[in-house]
Amino acid sequence: MASIRLKNITKRWGDFVAVDNQSLDIEDQEFLVLLGPSGCGKTTTMRMIAGLEEPTEGEVWIGDRMVNDELPKDRDVAMVFQNYGLYPHMSVFDNIAYPLKIRKSAPKARIPELVRKAADRVELLQFLERRPRELSGGQRQRVALARAIVREPQAFLMDEPLSNLDAKLRVTMRAELKHLSHELQITTVYVTHDQIEAMTLADRIGVMNDGRIRQLGTPDEIYNDPANIFVADFIGSPSMNLIQGAVDRNCFVTAGGQQLTETPASDLDRAVLGVRAEDIAVVRLGSTDVDARVYAAENTGENVVLTLQLGEQRITCKEDRYLKFSINERIGLRFDSSKTYLFEPDSGARIRQ
């Protein structure tokens, strides 16, 4: 097991910068998730750690070794891919045993025991004689995991390992991965664009955009204390409401003149107020200064998602599923200043106290 350190890593193809002077310290045994939209540089970052891509600038460290000049096979990291990468003509047993045989990292006589141990961890013992085509998607992904586990590598690098599974299986496999990573305690870098996977699996999340990590923090910090509009908007479903307005004497005022809540800044000509759907309370009309009109009410089973017309802007708000709303109904709204976020409209930076 080992820490992983990126020092000022840049990857360029011609003029195009895929990863832009990024540094990152991943602690020994940490589960770090790189999360971001398609094309933001997550896979490229991971491939540079694995040695499959050479950084244009910067250093990659695994433990106390600077590995820039080491071949992938010498870096002692195990990769798990979205498409499993299994050998179709080999049995599950031989697929799992493959890295041990190739690397000669275990005495031949011990291989069956090690394979069975890894297969047992992912509940595949009864499938050892099957070929990959005789397995379900989830079982194939477990073979890929067992093949990574059997090596006892310094680190796991996982690139969207669940994204080929159907929605239900993904949720089950997510819980299995969570349990497994708790048991194995091996440093893991996990790439995904699925925010729920990131939130549920990570010790820390690095939210990436345009080749840079825009915020690095625990899931709690990323969700509850976003550093900028990009992170605020990317995390959460529905997305955080981003309301345009201004700040007048420590009060956020919408473009239509409604005073929503206290703010940390005193006066700003332009500002953006972020507030999550679940943090807006619907109250009796007239009991606050803020009112809105119901544009749509959608019962998801778990709750009611309201789309509200607030002056010229639309916002969403989640309410108790037992409440009934009708379209065009006027309702009062209450904002809690401790659950709102103020942002600078141009740079997107958070404005704090």
Which spans of this chain sit near ligand ATP (rule: CB under 6 A)?
A: 13, 16, 18, 36, 38-44, 193
**Alpha-carbon torsion (334, 340, 345, 351), positive or negative:** positive
| Min dist. Cβ of residue 17 to ligand ATP (A) | 9
Other CB atoms within a 10 A radius of the CB of residue 238 amount to 14
- Which of the 8 DSSP states describes residue 265? S
Nearer to ligand ATP, 60 or 122 (CB): 60
Of the pair 12, 116, the CB lying nearest ligand ATP is at 12
Structure tokens at 54: 């050479």
Nearest residue (CB) to ligand ATP, 170 versus 350: 170
Distance in Å, CB of 64 to ligand ATP, minimum: 27
Nearest to 232 by CA among 103, 339, 86: 339
**100 vs 201 by CB, closer to ligand ATP:** 201
**Least distance from ligand ATP to the Cβ atom of residue 237, Å:** 18
Would you say 36 or 311 has its CB closer to ligand ATP? 36
Quickly list DSSP for 64-102.
TEE-TTS-GGGS-EEEEETT----TTS-HHHHHHHHHHH
By beta-carbon proximity to ligand ATP, the closer residue of 56 and 105 is 56
Which of 5-41 are b and which e, b meaning 16 or more Cβ less than 10 Å from the residue's Cβ? Answer: bbbebbbeeeeebbbeebebebeebbbbbbbbeeebb
Between 40 and 49, CB nearer to ligand ATP: 40
Least separation in angstroms between residue 40's CB and ligand ATP is: 4
Residue 16: CB minimum distance to ligand ATP, A: 6
| Minimum distance from residue 13 beta carbon to ligand ATP (Å) | 4
Taking CA atoms, 16 is separated from 20, 162, 169, 209, 318, in Å, by 10, 29, 37, 14, 41
- Least distance between ligand ATP and beta carbon 223 (Å): 21
Cα–Cα dist 49/24, whole Å: 11
Fill in the amino acid letter for 140. R
Q: 241: part of which helix (H) or strand (E)? A: strand 241-248
